Homo-oligomer: A and B are copies of this chain.
Amino acid sequence: MPDVNKAIEYARANKEKFLTDLQEFSAIPSVSTLDENKPDMQRAAEWVANQLRSIKMNNVQIMPTAGHPVVYGEWLGAGKNAPTIMIYGHYDVQPVDPIELWTSDPFNAVVRGDYLFGRGTSDMKGQVVASLKAVESIVSTGEAKVNIKWLIEGEEEIGSMHLDEFIIKNKELLACDFCLNPDAGMMGADKPTITTGLRGLAYFELKVFGPSKDLHSGLFGGTVHNPAQALIELVAGMHDKNGKITLPGFYDKVRKLSKKEREDFKRLPVTDKQLKEITGVPALWGEPQFIPAERVGARPTLEVNGLLSGFTGQGAKTVLPAYAMAKISCRLVPDQTPEQTEKQLRAYLKKNAPKTIKWELTLLNSSGAALVDSDSAGVQALAKAFETVWGKKPYFKREGGSIGSVVLLQKYVGADSLLTGFGLPDDNIHSPDEHLHLPTWYKGIEAFVHFFNNF
């Protein structure tokens, strides 16, 4: 009997134990944002470290950061010619408020029907345990074909605040061929999903200054350029009549979608009707030559995230404001960069801002776009594993947002992230009664066993 069958057999035989381990992990209230849970953060890190040791990982360390520690472990026994895969996860969870809306204790995970209810069961202690148990199944019945590293952080729910420092400091330790990140979930219990792309971000604050103080709009209206008007004219001009972004050169580097990529997008099980229901808008909007999934996954945007000027309270105040502000952000796709985007925005403003006002632009936040090659060994191995377990080809999806760890690992370690996981869209993550669909979770463990075997 080949090793993979033994490993699958092990996984099936140990379902109860796997669940008990997940319940034990979920019982630790590792809420990263609360000071009172600091000791629990340490306990959760130790729990992970002990698991890693129990599945024959070497060099297991709880590594301090300026915030919560990172758990590291490795098994490099497959040798230099085998690929090295890093598994990313996080052991921290969201707060449980409003606690009164929970049916049962969030930190005493219980099974009801097909589901395990408890904080972190889906996001993402369940996913971390699925990864651990897949590797446990392999190493308990044979030997892994690939080298494995683990990076399990404790600050994902608070924005991975210290992960950048940690990764920069430990570049060599973290060196790998690619990263498996099971924090992205799937589109439905029968819809195994691989997220191959994330958009980047360039987030700006644009300030427009007019008179030195707020003026009476009656006494000065008509002689002084209203900075709120100047601002909205500038920002409105950043799209043309057809919704195209007018920053000079904005689309120059945007990759054209291949026929295959467009087919993957088209296959995704998302309808316009669903999108309208989720968002509550009367009609969808966007570039008509692309379907919504393409617009979100593969097309750049320029959004107004915030506007502030003058009088915004109840009633009427006839002020001609001294100042107006817009928060503007661009979602970027390969091969756009935040640096280029800032240049393009500055060029636009220099060309279009009138002499009657002053403006100031600040780049507040930025990250590059990420895209994994669908033909890469990792994606192929994962797709094949999903086909083996679910009997169907997975969905290839791109997310419109960005994920801190993905950007950092790409930037400092040069490693692409394969985003996947076994959480479902209705798992109530970040909400009361978070739960995990256990049949899908068990399938997931088997899928990861196959994945590691597919190299």
Contact = CB atoms under 8 A, between A and B. Distances in A.
A281 to B, nearest CB: 5
Interface string A306-342: 1111111001111111001101010100000000000
A285 to B, nearest CB: 4
A215 interface: yes
Contact of A232 (B203, B216, B304, B320): B304
A279 B315 contact: no
A65 B239 CA distance: 54
A304 B296 contact: no
Nearest to A233: B236
A225 B304 CA distance: 11
A210 interface: yes
Contacts of A280: 211-213
Interface string A257-286: 000000000000000000100011111111
Interface string A203-221: 1000000111101111111
Contact of A316 (B225, B315, B364): B364
A232 B223 contact: no
A161 interface: no
Contacts of A219: 296, 399-401
Contacts of A307: 228, 231-232, 307-310, 312, 324
Nearest to A310: B306
A285 B221 contact: no
A297 to B, nearest CB: 9
A414 interface: no
A200 to B, nearest CB: 10
A314 to B, nearest CB: 9
Interface stretch (A49-57, A101-109, A166-174, A351-359): A351-359
A399 B318 CA distance: 14
A455 to B, nearest CB: 32
Interface residues of A, number: 76
Nearest to A218: B401
A182 interface: no
B305 A317 contact: yes
A228 B306 CA distance: 7
Contacts of A306: 228, 309-312, 317, 319, 321
Interface of A, secondary structure class, is: mixed
Contacts of A356: 281-285
Interface in A170-193: none
A5 interface: no
A293 to B, nearest CB: 8
A305 B319 contact: yes
A215 B279 contact: yes
B199 A218 contact: yes
A1 to B, nearest CB: 44
A388 interface: no
Contact of A292 (B211, B215, B223): B223
A308 to B, nearest CB: 4
Given A283-B355, A327-B311, A402 B218 contact: yes
Contacts of A218: 199, 201, 296, 331, 399-402
B355 A224 contact: no
Nearest to A220: B279
Given A235-B232, A307-B312, A358-B282, A222 B401 contact: no
Interface in A374-405: 399-402
Contacts of A226: 303-304
A318 to B, nearest CB: 6
15 contacts: A216-B400, A220-B400, A221-B400, A224-B275, A225-B283, A229-B239, A232-B304, A281-B357, A282-B357, A282-B358, A303-B320, A304-B321, A306-B321, A307-B312, A308-B308
